[in-house]
Amino acid sequence: MSIVKIDKKITGYGIQKEPPANEPTTGAADQQAEPEIEHMHENVDRPEMLLGSTYKIKTPLSDHALYITINDIILNPNTDHEVRRPFEIFINSKNMDHFQWVVALTRVISAVFRKGGDCTFLAEEMQAVFDPKGGYFKTGGRFMPSLVAEIGYAIECHMKTIGLLVDDELSDIQKKILVEKRREYEESEGKKAKEGEFPESAQLCMKCYTKAMILMDGCMTCLSCGNSKCG
């Protein structure tokens, strides 16, 4: 039995009671401590292999496409707390005009990913960047105010894929109504749009920034997101 020397003044005492005979005693060694839940932070070691996805961006601003690769880390694997979080981002292209700011952007975004916490704000902030020379329309009629905004859109799509953001999809009934409205509009105009595109006479929707706003039954309705001025 070891001797414990008390250097401080005793201000109180208590008597430790023995547990009842019918209750099993549990020592610290017998208790299995639950493993701590690992959260994303800047000191998380990078595994040798990461899962990732690559997104292609082709804009009218350049003859060469940009390829955005976002690698994810899996925290708490094989447990009920398993989550997938973005860890790093790379942007590659044959076009070297934007090399400096692209490298700087990827390093800053990767640092935000590794810092932990809520990183979903990146997608919204980047999509709010406007090019002073003007934006462009993607295939399908979606307007992109800048190249940075399209990179932010790719990050948003990735976050929706891994479950960080919830995709506000239209219900089956809403999709059916929009398909019927589109068919009626094309029949009235006598022109049929190509698959994946919207009528040429459609206007820009200020909610989803897609050129898909048509006038039907005296009401402006977006064939992409369902936004309507009539409620």
Residue 193 domain-assigned? yes
Pair 157, 178 in one domain:
no
pLDDT along the chain (231 residues), means of 10: 71 70 54 70 90 93 91 91 94 86 94 93 94 87 91 95 84 81 80 77 87 84 84 62
Choosing from 162, 186, 213, the residue where a domain stops is: 162
Domain match, 180 and 108 both? no
Is there a single domain that holds both residue 156 and residue 56? yes
Is there a domain that residue 75 lies in? Answer: yes
At 30 the pLDDT is: 46
pTM, two decimals, is 0.71
Q: Are residues 131 and 207 in the same domain?
A: no
Domain of residue 96, residue span: 51-162
Report the number of distinct structural domains present in the chain: 2
- Asked if 146 and 180 sit in the same domain, the reply is no
Q: Are residues 178 and 198 in the same domain?
A: yes
Q: Give residue 116's Cα distance to chain centre.
A: 14
Domain-terminating residue out of 142, 162, 182: 162
Kindly give, in sequence order, each residue whose CB lies less than 8 Å from that of residue 85, ignoring residues fewer than 6 positions away: 40, 72, 73, 75, 113, 162, 164
Strands 136-137 and 83-93: unpaired
Q: Residue 29: what pLDDT? A: 47
Structural domain includes residue 87: yes
* pLDDT at site 180: 84
How far is residue 221 from each of residues 149, 203, 227, measured CA to CA in Å?
Answer: 25, 10, 6
Q: Is residue 117 part of a domain?
A: yes
Of 112, 132, 162, the position where a domain reaches its end is 162
- Indicate whether 178 and 152 sit together in one domain: no
Q: What is the distance between the alpha carbons of residues 223 and 221, in angstroms, rounded to a whole number?
A: 6
What would the two tokens of residue 78 be? Answer: 């094989």
Write down the pLDDT at residue 157.
94
Examine residue 136 and state whether it is found in any structural domain, yes or no: yes
215 and 115 in one domain? no
